[in-house]
Amino acid sequence: MAKYIVKRVGLALITLLIIVFLLFVMVRIMPGNPFPSERMSAEQIANKRIEMGLDKPVLVQFRDYMVKLLQGDFGKGTSLYYGAPIKTVLSTCVQNSFRIGGLAILIGTAVGLLLGITAALNRGRFLDGFCTVFSIVGVCVPSYVFLIFLQYYFSYKIPYFPYFFDANRFLFSSILPALSLSLFTMSTVARFTRNEMVEVMDSDYVRLAESKGIYGPRLIRRHVLRNALIPIVTVLAPLIVDLLTGALVVEKIYGINGIGKLMVDAISGEGVDYNYVLALGILYSALYIGIMLAVDLLYGILDPRIRVAAKGDA
Amino acid sequence: MNEKAILELKDLDVSFRTNAGVIHAIRGVNLDLQKGETVAIVGESGSGKSVTMKAVTGLLDENATVNRGQIHYRLAENGKEEIVDLLKLPKKELRRRINGRHIAMVFQDPMTSLDPTMPVGKQIMESMLLYGGRSREEAKARALELMNLVGISDAEHRMKYYPHQFSGGMRQRVVIAIALSGDPDILICDEPTTALDVTIQAKILELIKDIQKRMGLSVIYITHDLGVVAKVADYVNVMYAGKIVEVGNVNEIFYDPRHPYTWGLLTAMPDMDTDDDRLYSIPGSPPNLLHEPKGDAFAPRNAFALAIDEKAEPPLFKISDTHYAATWLLHPDAPKIEMPPELQARLERERKEAAKYLA
């Protein structure tokens, strides 16, 4: 198993390196550059390029970038927040996005599981239909629409929650955006849990468990949920990445200084900020690869069939 | 209920609500099982054999309704004997008192009937720990004993295996061990060998027979394979369209069948000792029980159908104390119709062969 993990981690790192390289090259190829031409003369731009090392061959630039990156240095902004180290700006944004995203994941998963289990246990009855309708609505309504709805009722009609994000009242002012962001995850998890459970409840091995006298909570917990929840991990992983990396529109509407907002600013500001786009791209990729890897390893622990195969592999 | 009877189904009638309408799957089934005996229920797919046994074990799907009937079971508990109607017991009580500990089941497909996330030893021990009043060590010892009994060697080590680490035949042995874990009186085997290799089939049948003798079990086989029936059964119930159309002991069914459907089933068995290179099958297919059949449900497929078959359902006619068949051909006024000559010749030959073995 240890050998298997080392192999998987190694592969993940190589993947990440390739992504960083592609990002690095593509940022330089794509239209737009860090210099607003209407405000800078050609000479100024040329000087700036030399200062930033953009005149060197791409491979040399990449080498220099990697050397710094490995020391944990993302460089400085090339147009956005001019001059401030990216690390400082990024850490604030990451904190905000991660906290709100984390809260959304917690709410979404917990409520989603509860809804799904309730629906499956009441299959064909009213509650099942209610959960199905709720899931469909939840998947279809964009989170920012839901956020505006929440703002209208719980900030304006009943002035309880704040209109905008306030870092000083972090948890309190995170509730509305987290709730609206959790809706999609909640619906997806609920629908998936319900369908997986119904399938398992119809399976032969649950019949066999019943035929040996197992019933009620023990049957559901040990034979139904244990089997039904394994595949949910795979559905959850990309949702988690999505939520952690921030939501462009929700962050904009609720005035949250998060990763999503930063990404938009980095691309659509006065000039395309090479280093910010790169840093954010690397962050997204690393998160995605990391969480997928974690899921694969977790899957191995949860599902004995894979556990043994992995052992054989190594 | 007579004194030796352990299970008695009386006029069981079950229907299912579906999107297409109500399917009347079981239309008044009577069945007796005596202590230590083996009874087989034979019939095509959809004849209602599995549903009948699901009713006994309380495993009917949620859309099923029991319209009529009783399932009497002689429950021996704490040294007392009482006769209970399994249909009247609440589900919870049925699971707690009957399932596993008195009536256990072996399922058709061992590839899907074991929980993939639980080691097999634990699956064997699960209900022992829940109901048996055994300690963990005692349950483990009993599980080892059972695994040895069903022919799994190196049991101590293999207890920790997950189902996917076993072959189909081995998994079926595990399923049998699970069924035996509650020391049941009745073992219901739902096509226990259908999903297995032919070479394994015989071994599993031998195993069940052997265990039955050792533990004094009563066994009900559900099968469409008359070869299996001939090997294991004392009594045979032939089922068609939710009814039992012929019942008798194994000799009566195999050497003196009276119902045209039984004739068809027997003729459809592959026969190595004939020059005929055509394999017979009963024409047509079983009726759709969404619509209540008029008269004898088998009439449309019956080459020997009489005019009355279209109008009235035949009652069970008595042939001997153990042999009954529901066909108008047995009515005193019916024309004398013998079974098809090919089948007659075949049964004659088989009888002689059997006599040779016995001599």
What confidence tens digit (pLDDT) does each residue in A246-260 have? 788 888 888 888 888
pLDDT at A209: 95
Identify the CA nearest to A242 among candidates A101, A99, A146, A144: A101
Q: Residue B32: CB partners within 8 Å, gap ≥ 6?
A: B5, B7, B8, B9, B39
User: Are both B177 and B274 inside the same structural domain?
Assistant: no
Nearest CA in chain A to B131: A213
Taking contacts as CB-CB distances below 8 angstroms, the residues of chain A near B116 are 205, 227, 303-305
B116:A305 CB<8 A: yes
Whether chain B has a CB inside 8 Å of the CB on A312: the answer is no
Which of B194, B220, B238 terminates a domain? The answer is B238
B162:A304 CB<8 A: yes
User: Are both B212 and B284 inside the same structural domain?
Assistant: no
ipTM: 0.88
| CATH code that applies to domain A86-313 | 1.10.3720.10
Average pLDDT in the A106-128 region? Answer: 94
Which residues are paired to A44 by β-bridges?
A: none
Nearest CA in chain A to B132: A213
What is the C-alpha to C-alpha distance for residues B155 and B140, in angstroms, rounded to an integer?
A: 11
Using the CB atoms, write b or e for B321-344: b if 16+ within 10 Å.
eebbbbbbbbeeeeeeeebbeebe
A205:B113 CB<8 A: yes
Least confident segment among A33-47, A89-103, A137-151, B63-77 = A33-47
B105:A211 CB<8 A: yes
User: Are both B228 and B280 inside the same structural domain?
Assistant: no
The amino acid at residue A131 is: C
Which of B222, B238, B254 terminates a domain? The answer is B238
Which of B217, B238, B259 terminates a domain? The answer is B238
Nearest to B182 among A208, A213, A303 (CB): A213
Whether chain A has a CB inside 8 Å of the CB on B105: the answer is yes
Q: Residue A312's pLDDT band (boundaries 50, 70, 90)? A: very low
- Angle at Cα B221 formed by Cα B219 and Cα B223, nearest 5°? 175
- The shortest C-alpha distance from B115 to chain A (Å) reads 5
Number of residue pairs across A and B with CB atoms under 8 Å? 90
Crossing angle for the helix pair B168-180 and B136-149, to the nearest 10 degrees? 130
B99:A304 CB<8 A: no
What is the C-alpha to C-alpha distance for residues A77 and A275, in angstroms, rounded to an integer?
A: 6
A205:B165 CB<8 A: no
In a domain, B245, yes or no: no
Whether chain A has a CB inside 8 Å of the CB on B125: the answer is no
Percent of chain A, pLDDT > 90?
Answer: 36
Whether the Cβ atoms of residue A161 and residue A172 lie closer than 8 Å to each other: yes
What confidence tens digit (pLDDT) does each residue in A8-30 have? 899 999 999 999 999 999 888 88
- Over 80: is that where the pLDDT of A268 sits? no
User: Are both B51 and B114 inside the same structural domain?
Assistant: yes
User: Are both B38 and B167 inside the same structural domain?
Assistant: yes
pLDDT at B132: 74
C-alpha distances (whole Å) from B275 to each of B140, B269, B270 are 55, 14, 12
In a domain, B252, yes or no: no
Which residues are paired to B105 by β-bridges?
A: B188
- Count the Cβ atoms, other than its own, within 10 Å of residue B57: 23
Taking contacts as CB-CB distances below 8 angstroms, the residues of chain A near B126 are 209, 212, 214
SS (H, E, C) chain B: CCCCEEEEEEEEEEEEEECCEEEEEEEEEEEEEECCCEEEEECCCCCCHHHHHHHHHCCCCCCEEEEEEEEEEEEEECCEEEEEECCCCCHHHHHHHHECCCEEEECCCCCCCCCCCCCHHHHHHHHHHHHCCCCHHHHHHHHHHHHHHCCCCCHHHHCCCCHHHCCHHHHHHHHHHHHHCCCCCEEEEECCCCCCCHHHHHHHHHHHHHHHHHHCCEEEEEECCHHHHHHHCCEEEEEECCEEEEEEEHHHHHHCCCCHHHHHHHHCCCCCCCCCCCCCCCCCCCCCCCCCCCCCCCHHHCCCCCHHHHCCCCCCEECCCCCEECCHHHCCCCCCCCCCHHHHHHHHHHHHHHHHHHC
Question: The domain that contains B47 carries what CATH number?
Answer: 3.40.50.300
Percent of chain A, pLDDT > 70?
Answer: 94
User: Are both B34 and B178 inside the same structural domain?
Assistant: yes
A214:B104 CB<8 A: no
Q: Residue A152: CB partners within 8 Å, gap ≥ 6?
A: none
Nearest CA in chain B to A308: B165
B115:A227 CB<8 A: yes
pLDDT at A313: 41
What is the C-alpha to C-alpha distance for residues A156 and A298, in angstroms, rounded to an integer?
A: 44
Average pLDDT in the A54-78 region? Answer: 84
B114:A308 CB<8 A: no
Q: Which of A201, A207, A208 to mutate to test the interface with B (most CBs of B within 10 A)?
A: A208
pTM of the model: 0.84
User: Are both B36 and B178 inside the same structural domain?
Assistant: yes
In a domain, B255, yes or no: no
In a domain, B149, yes or no: yes
User: Are both B97 and B149 inside the same structural domain?
Assistant: yes
Radius of gyration of chain B (CA): 21
Least confident segment among A59-73, A182-196, B134-148, B309-323 = A59-73
What is the C-alpha to C-alpha distance for residues B256 and B251, in angstroms, rounded to an integer?
A: 7
| Residue range(s) defining the domain that contains residue B308 | 270-358
Taking contacts as CB-CB distances below 8 angstroms, the residues of chain A near B110 are none
B96:A213 CB<8 A: yes
- The shortest C-alpha distance from B173 to chain A (Å) reads 14
Q: Residue A105's pLDDT band (boundaries 50, 70, 90)? A: very high
Whether chain A has a CB inside 8 Å of the CB on B95: the answer is yes
pLDDT at A314: 35
- The shortest C-alpha distance from A105 to chain B (Å) reads 27
Using the CB atoms, write b or e for A164-201: b if 16+ within 10 Å.
ebeeeeeeebbbbbbbbbbbbbbbbbbbbbbbbbbebb
- Count the Cβ atoms, other than its own, within 10 Å of residue A124: 11
Tokens of B223: 């099968």
Radius of gyration of chain A (CA): 24
- Count the Cβ atoms, other than its own, within 10 Å of residue B38: 24
In a domain, B260, yes or no: no
SS (H, E, C) chain A: CHHHHHHHHHHHHHHHHHHHHHHHHHHHHCCCCCCCCCCCCHHHHHHHHHHHCCCCCHHHHHHHHHHHHHCCCCCECCCCCCCCEHHHHHHHHHHHHHHHHHHHHHHHHHHHHHHHHHHHHCCCCHHHHHHHHHHHHHHHCCHHHHHHHHHHHHHHHCCCCCCCCCHHHHHHHHHHHHHHHHHHHHHHHHHHHHHHHHHHHCCHHHHHHHHCCCCHHHHHHHHHHHHHCHHHHHHHHHHHHHHHCCCHHHHHHCCCCCHHHHHHHHHHCCCCCHHHHHHHHHHHHHHHHHHHHHHHHHHHHHCHHHHHHHHHHC
What is the C-alpha to C-alpha distance for residues A115 and B318, in angstroms, rounded to an integer?
A: 58
pLDDT at A80: 65
Taking contacts as CB-CB distances below 8 angstroms, the residues of chain A near B91 are 215
Whether chain B has a CB inside 8 Å of the CB on A125: the answer is no
User: Are both B186 and B96 inside the same structural domain?
Assistant: yes
B117:A214 CB<8 A: no
Taking contacts as CB-CB distances below 8 angstroms, the residues of chain A near B90 are none
Whether chain A has a CB inside 8 Å of the CB on B107: the answer is yes
Q: Scan for tokens 């949620």, then name that residue.
A: B62
What is the C-alpha to C-alpha distance for residues B206 and B227, in angstroms, rounded to an integer?
A: 13
Q: Which residue has the higher pLDDT, A226 or A302?
A: A226
Q: Residue B124: CB partners within 8 Å, gap ≥ 6?
A: B143, B146, B147, B159, B174, B177, B178, B181
User: Are both B203 and B299 inside the same structural domain?
Assistant: no
Residues of chain B with pLDDT under 70: 359
B178:A212 CB<8 A: yes
Whether chain B has a CB inside 8 Å of the CB on A216: the answer is yes
Whether chain B has a CB inside 8 Å of the CB on A221: the answer is no
Taking contacts as CB-CB distances below 8 angstroms, the residues of chain A near B109 are 204
In a domain, B29, yes or no: yes
pLDDT at A135: 93
Identify the CA nearest to A197 among candidates A151, A230, A233: A230
Domains: count for chain B: 2
